[in-house]
């Protein structure tokens, strides 16, 4: 195996022939972006979120994570674990800016880039050897350029498969590079805990431990029939393959978006159903705008409702005709909420999601458009917002709130604890 630390110092040399899949993960991405403006906080525990209200942690520095702070944790709990932490508000537009800059750097190395999220991607660098060198050299060049041009750091795993490359990047954190040659794949994987296998959460881990399995090697040595009895056919086959280092997936440069959604966590629990419905309307509008911008229609509308005791309910309904009209999405979401019969129960979070997305051209094949009038109105609003700003035109119902009042939540965007 070949490993480099944050300074790029070579710890050990290895033949990386065949380890042409890179997984690159930005280190504590949101927190690192915020520290670009607060260099005096480097080396200190920092939490990204809002100190007031019901905010959740969107990211945290490694210094804060040592105290058990993690993404999606309520900020109030994070501060109990690490009371000395400094809380900085998130700036999502900056994360998007740096994400695009980093992805452009990846694409300069190879056109075969598969972004997984705002801060990580798979790269196939098998065709870059002649121009840039071996996979390890490409990974190091990317790390150096990312740091030089953005001030941020990333960790790189190089291997023959996506799965092993992703595990390797996690082991290289923070600010490192780890190469796993194909011949050393099993030696690397087998001592790892079973949680290292994709798809092994708490429930699956419990099932595997129950039959005496604790490491990836234990899973590899277990007959497939035994695994099937413990975790079911599909999961057993997947874990059996991964435990043997087998992962046939290639780097895919284009992916269809599977769903689009928005959700909000209220500053205080809401018992007024009308207030929840108003939020469903606002969220449905946001989802519809994103659908239209992306050129999609939704076949299914789903809602999520989380109560004060953290009980979470989800419901969905498939439309008779796919739509990207906010009013249609809201009416479906409202019907789903009404069917829950939970009026008066304190609501902590509510969300709306469009699923089963299809190309917007599919609407042209329909014999009639039940949302034609609303569609025309919302398309006009899109044009006005594009010209005069996102808040220039709003529904009258959205103006009933007092000036400055908001639902007051955060979506806890992905930072995945990296």
Provide the annotated active-site residues.
120
Length of the chain in terms of residues written: 418
Q: 24-51 burial, b if ≥16 CB within 10 A, otherwise e?
A: bbbbbbbbbbbbeeeeebeeebbbbbbe
Beta-strand relationship, 21-26 and 154-159: antiparallel
Token pair 């990047």 is at which residue? 169
Give the separation between CA 215 and CA 196, rounded to whole angstroms. 9
59: nearest Cα among 95, 101, 23: 95
Using CB atoms within 10 A of its CB, is residue 75 exposed (0-12), middle (13-18) or buried (19+)? buried
323: nearest Cα among 350, 352, 351, 287: 287
Give the separation between CA 124 and CA 169, rounded to whole angstroms. 15
Give the separation between CA 237 and CA 86, rounded to whole angstroms. 45
Taking each helix axis from N to C end, the angle separating 273-294 and 326-340, rounded to the nearest 10 degrees, works out to 140
Cross-strand pairs, 74 = 56
Give the separation between CA 30 and CA 21, rounded to whole angstroms. 25
Output the CA angle 136-141-144, nearest 5 degrees: 125
Give the separation between CA 327 and CA 135, rounded to whole angstroms. 50
Q: Do the annotations mark residue 247 as ligand-binding?
A: no
The dihedral formed by the CA atoms of 12, 124, 144 and 94, expressed in degrees to the nearest 10? -140
Give the separation between CA 222 and CA 234, rounded to whole angstroms. 16
How many Å is the Cα radius of gyration of the chain? Answer: 24
Mention every residue, 6+ apart, whose C-beta is less than 8 A from residue 100: none
Give the separation between CA 411 and CA 62, rounded to whole angstroms. 22
The first and second tokens of residue 248, run together, are 């046939």
Q: Do the annotations mark residue 5 as ligand-binding?
A: no
Give the containing element (helix H, strand E) for 215.
Answer: none
Going along 140-274, which residue ranges are E strands? 154-159, 177-179, 259-270
Binding site residue list for Mg(2+): 25, 119
Binding site residue list: 25, 119
């Amino acid at each position: 195996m070949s490993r480099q630390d944050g300074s790029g110092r070579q710890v050990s040399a290895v033949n990386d022939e065949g380890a042409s899949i890179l997984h690159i993960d930005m280190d504590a991405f949101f927190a690192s972006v915020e520290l670009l403006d607060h260099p005096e906080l480097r080396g200190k525990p920092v939490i990204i979120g809002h100190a007031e209200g019901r905010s959740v942690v969107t990211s945290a520095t490694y210094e804060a994570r040592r105290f058990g702070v993690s993404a999606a944790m309520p900020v109030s709990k994070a501060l109990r674990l690490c009371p000395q932490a400094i809380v900085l508000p998130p700036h999502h537009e900056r994360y998007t800016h740096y994400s695009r800059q980093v992805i452009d750097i990846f694409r300069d190395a190879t056109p075969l880039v598969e972004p997984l999220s705002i801060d990580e991607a798979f790269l196939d660098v098998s065709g870059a050897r002649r121009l840039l060198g071996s996979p390890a050299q490409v990974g190091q060049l990317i790390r150096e350029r990312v740091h030089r041009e953005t001030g941020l750091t990333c960790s790189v795993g190089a291997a023959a498969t996506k799965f092993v490359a992703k595990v390797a990047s996690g082991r290289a954190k923070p600010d490192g590079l780890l190469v796993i040659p194909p011949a050393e794949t099993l030696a690397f994987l087998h001592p790892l805990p079973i949680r290292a296998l994709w798809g092994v959460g708490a429930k699956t881990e419990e099932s595997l431990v129950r039959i005496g399995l604790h490491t990836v090697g234990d899973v590899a040595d277990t007959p497939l029939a035994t695994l099937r009895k413990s975790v079911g056919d599909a999961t057993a086959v997947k874990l059996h393959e991964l435990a043997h280092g087998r992962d046939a997936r290639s780097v895919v440069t284009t992916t269809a978006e599977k769903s689009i959604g928005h959700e909000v966590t209220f500053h205080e629990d809401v018992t007024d159903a009308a207030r929840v419905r108003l939020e469903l309307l606002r969220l449905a509008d946001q989802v519809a705008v994103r659908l239209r911008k992306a050129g999609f229609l939704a076949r299914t509308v789903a809602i999520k409702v989380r109560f004060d005791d953290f009980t979470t309910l989800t419901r969905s309904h498939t439309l008779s005709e796919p739509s990207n009209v906010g009013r249609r999405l809201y009416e479906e979401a409202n019907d789903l909420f009404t069917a829950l019969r939970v009026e008066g129960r304190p609501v902590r979070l509510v969300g709306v999601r469009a699923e089963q997305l299809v190309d917007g051209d599919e609407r042209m094949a329909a014999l009639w458009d039940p949302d034609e009038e609303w569609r025309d109105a919302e398309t006009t609003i899109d044009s006005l917002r594009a010209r005069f700003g996102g808040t220039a035109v709003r529904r009258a119902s959205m103006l009933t709130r007092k000036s400055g009042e908001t639902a007051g939540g955060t979506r806890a965007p992905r930072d995945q604890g990296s």
